[in-house]
Chains A and B, each alone.
Chain A
Amino acid sequence: MHEQPEAAPRANPGRAPGVCVPWEEKRAEFPKIMGDEAIVQRTWEENDQLAYMFVWHCLLSF
């Protein structure tokens, strides 16, 4: 059997798994968040994950 080299880390990982539009990118569009920023971030990321799962399931499942 041939030697199995360790997979080298990629130089540019691009968008992280689970992310389409990162919160940081969206956050910059709000001049100021008057109330609880954490709830806005959490729900943004939850919805963003749905878009991520959509396209990956198109590839993997359908």
Chain B
Amino acid sequence: MSDAMEALYAERLERYVTALRNGKPDRVPVRPLAAEFVAAYGGYTCQEITQDYNKAFDAVCKCAKEFQWDACVGNMVYVWTALTQAMGMKYYASPGVEISADTAFQYLEPPEDAAYMAPEEYDALIEDPTAFLFNNWLPKVSSDIGPPGEANTFRHNMALVKGGMAMLQYFGALGQQNARLRQECGTPPAIGGMLKAPMDIIADKLRGYMGLTEDLLTIPDQVKAACEALAPHLTHVAVALSGADPERNVPIAFWMHRGGVPFVKQEHFDTIYWPTLKKVIEGIWSHGHQTLFYAEGDWTAHLEAFAELPEKSIVFHLDRSDPVETQRVLGKKFCITGGVPNALLAYGSADEVRAKCKELIDLCAPDGGYCMDASAIMQNDARPENVRAMTDFTVEYGKY
């Protein structure tokens, strides 16, 4: 790596980490979580970057070089569909296979009567979550993997071997991608991994959202016990991710979606979602890692709860939460990121984007502690000229 590139990397990392710790860097960092946008910008289809991660890596590097972002994710299109296909996973629609080649991969909510976990399976999950995943869950989400006691098949064996080998290969390649971004682009990683809150896992991958909401009404104690059983495993996985960021510079992202308004009642947030997530966050923080609350949707009703966390332990990402309230309640304790509506990036003008960026910087970044980004991951509808406007305006106007 050239000395100039290493110096650029160090300068950006300092800027980004200072803001993440709610400090005042030399200017507001630009840290877009760019997903399928990199495909559209780089001349690839969604299928190409989702199915072949090397194409995704190339597309990310092109964006990092040409936009000169302060930090980015090595591959924000995190689901490598060749892996999920190797394992026969049923819950994704892959671009170019089940859906058009230019549509981002889709998560398929299971029918209520065919959820990937039945209500009567809560006890097994609570008793031994890891064994449950191998013995109960994988056989339901995979078309190839069979449950214990059932006749073994060649496809069963292949799904496990290929899935394990593919995951090892992919995670190794992600490490190399971060090194490439550093050497070729001088760009630090934006996050150190991606996880979910316990109740979001139950909604996303086990019971489905409809199943979860029914369980919250009929068997809330079991939902809570399941979240408590999942929590220590999430802390363990998060801390294990520190191998990718031994200096604990960047946060571990938590995708938060089903615990906010209007998906569950305040009572269920207060008694299940938040206490079980809070324990995980505190556990991660005790190991020195920040968490990025990637708070999809509107979390304004829950800001006071988040303010209970130790200072600097989280970074709060603005999607549809009220920016004024977010800054008032959280701004003194935590860094805030994001807030540029994706619809504006897709359908607005460059002037409108610049006006929104000014509003966010004036509100959230008077004394540092803010990173510019879209409200949600940028997909292939974001217009390059608007992403350019967001980037260039922040570099100019965001100087301290």
Contacts and interface: CB of A to CB of B under 8 A. Distances in A.
Interface of A: 1-8, 10, 12-15, 17-20, 49-62
Nearest to A8: B228
Contact of A14 (B128, B196, B275): B128
B195 interface: yes
A3 B240 contact: no
Interface-centre pick from A3, A50, A55 (highest chain B CB count, 10 A) = A55
A8 B232 CA distance: 13
B35 to A, nearest CB: 14
B196 A60 contact: yes
A61 B253 CA distance: 11
B270 A2 contact: yes
Q: Is the interface of A mostly helix, strand, loop or mixed?
A: loop
B128 A54 contact: no
Given A10-B126, A14-B130, A14-B131, A58 B271 contact: no
Given A14-B130, A53-B237, A55-B130, A1 B266 contact: yes
Contacts of B267: 2
Interface in B299-316: 304-305
Contact of A15 (B128, B167, B194, B304): B128
Contact of A60 (B130, B194, B275): B194
A61 B138 CA distance: 14
By Cβ-Cβ distance, the 3 closest A-B pairs, closest first, are A14-B128, A17-B236, A2-B270
A6 B364 CA distance: 33
Contact of B78 (A12, A58, A61): A61
A5 to B, nearest CB: 7
A37 B79 CA distance: 40
A13 B231 CA distance: 11
Interface-centre pick from A7, A10, A62 (highest chain B CB count, 10 A) = A62
Interface string B126-151: 11111101100110000000000000
Contact of B271 (A4, A20, A57): A4
25 contacts: A1-B270, A2-B266, A2-B267, A4-B278, A7-B224, A10-B228, A10-B229, A12-B127, A13-B229, A15-B128, A17-B233, A17-B237, A18-B240, A49-B240, A50-B168, A54-B167, A55-B133, A56-B133, A56-B237, A59-B137, A60-B195, A60-B196, A61-B78, A61-B79, A62-B84
